[in-house]
Amino acid sequence: MKVRSSKLAGVQFAQSRRHDVRFIDCQLDGASIRFVRGEFVRFERCRMRQAELRDSVLTAVAWWDCDLTDTDVSNIKIARAQLHGSNVAGMVGATSLVPIALDAQQAPAFAQHLMATMGIVVGTASKTEPTC
């Protein structure tokens, strides 16, 4: 099934099953995609700002050239996932997106998020004595 050029902002897909679905050029801002079981789901050039995908189980999922700003992917379980060309700024729970294939351009933003989640602070060195 293909869903093309649709405004689905705030749509509720929670606790549903999705199989072999492509969302193309859709607006899914604030969409609730929580507790979804999905297989062969692909998002292409979709705007998904502040969408919630928490606690979903997705196999063969792809986000290509999507805006995932502030999207929550906490506790998501994925297999065979791709995240190419997508904006991941402010993403919540990115540590759940492992294993995943992504572009080299996305690596710095993704790494910064992973380090912040692990409590690693990157900044300038202080000239004061260490506290440990």
Q: Is residue 128 over pLDDT 70?
A: no
Q: For 84-108, what is the mean pLDDT? A: 86
Peptide bond into 99 cis (omega under 30): yes
The pLDDT assigned to 125 comes to 62
CATH top-level class for 2-103? Answer: mainly beta
CA geometry: angle 101, 104, 110, nearest 5 deg: 70
Of 9-18, 38-47, 102-111, 116-125, the least confident:
116-125
Question: Within a 10 A sphere around the Cβ of 99, how many other Cβ atoms?
Answer: 8
Taking the C-alpha atoms of residue 130 and residue 108, their distance in angstroms, rounded to an integer, is: 27
Q: At which residue do the structure tokens 């902002």 appear?
A: 9
Q: Is residue 130 over pLDDT 70?
A: no
The pLDDT assigned to 60 comes to 94
The pLDDT assigned to 7 comes to 94
Whether the Cβ atoms of residue 93 and residue 71 lie closer than 8 Å to each other: no
Confidence band for 96, pLDDT divided at 50, 70 and 90:
confident
Q: For 38-51, what is the mean pLDDT? A: 96
* pTM for the full predicted model: 0.83
Whether the Cβ atoms of residue 93 and residue 74 lie closer than 8 Å to each other: yes
Q: Is residue 34 classed exposed, middle or buried when 0-12, 13-18 and 19+ CB atoms within 10 A define those classes?
A: buried
Give 123 or 43, the one with higher predicted confidence. 43
